[in-house]
Structure 1
Amino acid sequence: MLPAAFIETLLDHIPADRAFTDPVDCYAYAYDNSRKIFPPECVIFPLTTDEVVQVIRLCMRFNLPVTPRGRGTGTAGGSLPEQGGIALSLERMTQVRSVDAANRVMIVEPGVLNEAVQAAAKPHGFFWPPDPSSAGYSSVGGNLATSAGGPHAVKYGTTRDHVLGVTAVTGTGEIIQTGCYTTKGVVGYDLTRLLIGSEGTLAVITEATLKLTPLPAAKGGLTAHYRDPASCAQAIVAIMQASRGPSALEFLDAGSLDLIRSKHPEMLPADSSAMLMIEVDGSEHEIAETVTNLLAACQNPGLLHAAATQNLDDLWQARKQLSPLLRDIAPKKINEDIVVPVDKIPVLLAGLSRLSQQYALANVNFGHAGNGNIHVNLLVDPDIDSERAEKCLNDIFDLVISLNGTLSGEHGIGSEKRAYIEKEISTATLAIMKGIKQVFDPNHILNPGKLFP
């Protein structure tokens, strides 16, 4: 129960139509795409940095937890208000403040959708490279929270590589500005990259200066189908060794292909057990040469068919339907976004197959193969298969670490993976991270309980 004095003081700064306290209204902010439910006691919708300051200072005064939130598309539980308190929804901070084509810069508020950023940049001949599959409804603030990537990260990098600076509010209600307006700048510590990926545990980002990239002159695509995942993995390594690589390289296993066939029966060859979707961009001449080289890289004894394609847009749409289709089959599935070095993908896929058989758990794998970022989907009901699923997941993470990989490429740690973080990060390193948290948020009110075990 929130103190009456808190509500009374809050309404001095935030109008009642932007401060929900009715449990029915608050329930929509109790969950994200992890499908766990933790209702907040209040949902607040600030419109300005100053309003965020007032809310944070008020929560600090009453020692109330604050969970910053975008559109709730995350899968790792990063925006769940586990300890109740306040859900700070930034979804109404939707202004594109400026588009500066001469300097290739755009300034936006955190509630701007990724898709809206692309729409604002396109008339000027630019785009913002981060493109998660949820781009149509995920916000920039959420993208920054986990340093989202997407399929084109293989060529262009992740969110961290495309943000010049931010304005943010710390856990003490102080406004800070990080980074600079120029692409070169080495004054002080790089707090921008520190905040990006921190999942709202250090500060609430209220404005971001985005670095734009020129749109490619043209795009091309090719697909390659294989008789088994091992042959497909072998081709991934060969493709990434090419001097002119892809702008996107997506891997789909047999389970993924069967899901697409269930919706689009004529789209894929019946005998394909693993597939690569490959996109290239650049000038028309570059595309033709790159496609030829990558077709050659696709060749191995397990190849069934590889060719340039004109319907890559249709395939992209089908690829983006995979996660929702899997949710229909297993609403509480375990969805991980592990990453290994590209040359270790063959070992990873073999290990995943072995563990799936060992624990008798259905598993569907797809993802951004060019980065070694594979989305592992254990199709389980944790309420029934919890012990087997937990043991399998633990072994998967051990396999990833043994291959010099990482537990998350773009989903973040949130609450779902915090129990495993010590597999990757040493005690000494964790101590430094906790010290940083103490500096930014000494009262531990910002997204408490996330990241750390």
Structure 2
Amino acid sequence: MTTVDTSLPASLDATLRARLGDGWQVAGDLRRYGEDSSKRWAMPSAIALPDCVEDVVAIVDACREHRIPIVARGAGTSSTGAAIPYSGGVVVSFERMARILEVRPDDRQAVVEPGVLNGDLQRALSPHRLFWPPDPASADQCTVGGNLACNAGGPHAVKYGATRDNVLGLVAVTGRGEVIRVGSNTTKNATGYDLTRLLVGSEGTLALIVEATLKLAPVPAQRAGLRASYVDVASAGAAVARIMAQPETPAMIEFMDAACVRLVREVGGADIPDAGALLMIEADGDRETLPHVVAALERAARGAGLLDLAAATDPAANAALWAARKALSPALRTIAAGKINEDVVVPVSRIPALVAGIEALAREFDLPIVAFGHAGNGNLHANILFDPDDAAQSARANAALPRLFALTLSLGGTLSGEHGIGVAKRDFMDRAFDAPTLAAMRAVKAAFDPDGILNPGKVLPP
């Protein structure tokens, strides 16, 4: 934790207390608003709980006048420290702006406020046989606003895209205190600059999103799954490349390395064979076409190194396997109390090289490093496991991290697929982008937030 001056000007306190009433908190349990799933924390100066767009404008105006930092917050599920108020200031929690404003089934659209939980939105859409595609593992805890902030994805992004691909328009409040409306209510739009896609993934550094028009998809009539086990990760990676090269797009391809396979067997209780790597493959569609899609995926999954290929026809067994997969991240703490979880991405064809490099790093640094994730997008979660009470292990874990990023970038990859940058990866951004590109990003930041009050110290390196 960084020690900062958490005092606020008396005039700002009076202005926002009058505006927000009990939605303005400067005492009590503030720390819970200053921490997230990254296990980092810092103490905010105050908590603001706006109820409407006008409240958000008032907060930004007051904070801008006194150059007070603002950190937008959803449910605190970030693993990168993106929602931590390192500079003190005001944490704006959108828990009271959690309304589903409109569902338009005929247009396949929903209009929501940022505090709506992803899971609650999915349940509200279910009677309309529609869903919003982003499906992170934390769907029942994370907010749509948080999904927008970090461009969240999930297992089904391989077919349906991540958050950025499923947003039509936004209403947001910039660091100038101005309300902007970007995008449109149409799925085709060639009018002006695409500021919608710019704001999605900006982690609250450009504007505070207060409303989103989301693009929905119809719930598939049927789903079918395959479980493929391989002797090693190279064989599984080659299978992923074959699957993605043929015309039928899978709804999901999840990858587990040998350590993850053992974990879901021994800790998760999944009934699967031991293997060097495993793929969970899912297809969806209608009754007539789905069998043909599954057959095509099965043909592509077959190849050198295949140990076992089984249809996941038993819904209960399939649900148990998927539950074990979703529980992988917390289950890793049965191996070690500490972990650094990074969601690096490479082109699909480079997955074998990425996993081979991860295994080499594990040997070099004498630490368990396990990999699993969304293979259809080349997005793997590399988890560096260590004992935080062992200074030598902690030092080796932190030394392995930049090597993981260097490996990823050398393979034509990128630092994050869905977690975002926050502070965890901020200081590696100058390795991912050249100086002119970073300068352009800083110019965009200055245009939206000229005083630098929105989520300072995040995303862009100092």
Fold-level similarity (TM above 0.5): yes
What's the offset of the Cα at 1:266?
A: 5.2
**What aligned pairs does 1:66-105 form with structure 2 within 5 A after superposition?**
66-105=70-109
Q: Hey, what's the Cα distance between the residues in 2 that align with 1:34 and 1:243? A: 39
Structure 1 position 414, deviation (Å): 0.3
1:390 is matched with which residue: 390, 398, 404? 398
Gaps of 5+ in 2: 1-6
Q: Which one is further off, 254-263 or 71-80?
A: 254-263
- The aligned residue for residue 403 of structure 1 is 411
Q: Does 1:289 align with 2:292?
A: yes
Partner in structure 1 of residue 24 of structure 2: 19
More displaced stretch, 352-361 vs 301-310: 301-310
CA RMSD of aligned residues (A): 1.3
Structure 1 distance, partners of 2:282, 2:294, is: 9
What one-letter code is carried by the residue in structure 1 that aligns with 2:308?
Answer: H
Q: Normalised by the size of structure 2, how large is the TM-score? A: 0.95
Q: Note if 1:425 corresponds to 2:438.
A: no
- Which structure 1 residue ranges, 4+ long, deviate > 4 Å from structure 2? none
Deviation, structure 1 residue 327 = 4.0
- Relative distance call for 1:363 and 1:104 in structure 2 (3 A) is same
Q: Deviation per CA, 1:390-420, whole angstroms, max 9, x where unpaired?
A: 3311111111111111010000000000010
Identify if the C-alpha distance between structure 1 residues 142 and 215 changes in structure 2 by more than 3 Å, giving closer, same or farther: same
Moved more, 4-13 or 200-209: 4-13
Q: In structure 1, how many angstroms separate the alpha carbons of the residues matched to 2:269 and 2:113?
A: 42
Q: How does 1:347-426 map to 2 (within 5 A)?
A: 347-381=353-387, 384=391, 385-426=393-434
Q: Which residue of 1 aligns with 2:3?
A: none
Question: Aligned equivalents of 1:56 and 1:28: distance in 2?
Answer: 22
Aligned with 1:250 (options 251, 254, 272)? 254
- In the TM superposition, residue 10 of structure 1 has moved relative to its aligned partner by 1.2
| TM-score, reference length from structure 1 | 0.97
Cα 1:182/1:55, change in 2 over 3 Å: same
Question: Is 1:167 aligned with 2:175?
Answer: no
- Looking at structure 2, the residues matched to 316 and 21 of structure 1 have their Cα atoms a distance apart, in angstroms, of 43
% identity of equivalent residues: 49
How many Å separate the matches in 1 of 2:245 and 2:140?
32
Report what 1:277 is aligned to.
280
Task: Report the counterpart of residue 230 of structure 1 in structure 2.
Answer: 234
- Please identify, of 221-230 and 45-54, the stretch whose mean Cα deviation from structure 2 is larger: 221-230
Taking the aligned partners of 1:292 and 1:69, their CA distance within structure 2 comes to 44
Query: 8 Å contact 2:337–2:388 — kept in the other structure?
Result: no
Q: In 2, are the aligned partners of 1:59 and 1:66 still within 8 Å (CA)? A: yes
Q: Distance in 1 between matches of 2:335 and 2:176?
A: 44
Q: Distance in 2 between matches of 1:266 and 1:389?
A: 29
Say if 2:141 is the partner of 1:137.
Answer: yes
Output the amino acid matched with 1:335.
Answer: N
Contact kept? 1:359, 1:392, Cα under 8 Å: yes
* C-alpha separation in 2, matches of 1:213 and 1:231: 33
Q: CA deviation at 1:272?
A: 1.8
- List gaps (5 residues or longer) in structure 1: none
| CA drift at 1:313 | 2.1
Question: Comparing 321-330 with 393-402, which one deviates more in the overlay?
Answer: 321-330
Aligned to 2:324: 318
| Distance in 1, Cα, partners of 2:270 & 2:129 | 36
- C-alpha contact 1:295 1:307 (8 A) present in aligned 2: no
SS at match of 1:39: coil
Task: Give the Cα–Cα distance (whole angstroms) in 1 for the partners of residues 451 and 61 of structure 2.
Answer: 11
Q: Aligned partners of 2:23 and 2:124: how far apart in 1?
A: 27
Whole-Å separation in 2 of the counterparts to 1:300 and 1:347: 18
Instruction: Supply the AA of the counterpart residue of 1:96.
Output: I
**In structure 2, which of residues 133, 155, 159 is the aligned counterpart of residue 155 of structure 1?**
159
In structure 1, give the amino acid aligned to 2:289.
E
Deviation at 1:331, TM superposition (A): 4.4
2:451 to 443, 448, 453: 443
CA contact (8 A) 2:270 2:321 kept: no
Partner in structure 1 of residue 186 of structure 2 = 182
Give the superposition deviation at 1:328. 5.3
Quote how far apart the aligned CAs of 1:382 are. 5.5
Structure 1 position 329, deviation (Å): 4.5
1:97 match: secondary structure: strand
Tell me if 1:334 matches 2:340.
yes
CA contact (8 A) 2:368 2:385 kept: yes
- The answer to whether the Cα contact below 8 Å between 1:233 and 1:345 also exists between their aligned partners in 2 is yes
Q: How far 1:381 sits from its partner (Å)?
A: 4.2
Identify which range, 281-290 or 90-99, moves more after superposition: 281-290
Distance 1:263 1:361 in 2: 20
CA contact (8 A) 1:382 1:389 kept: no
How many equivalent pairs are there? Answer: 450
Quick one: distance in 2 between partners of 1:264 and 1:68?
35
For 1:211 and 1:27, how far apart are their aligned partners in 2? 35
Mark the CA change 1:166 to 1:344 in structure 2 (over 3 Å): closer, same or farther: same
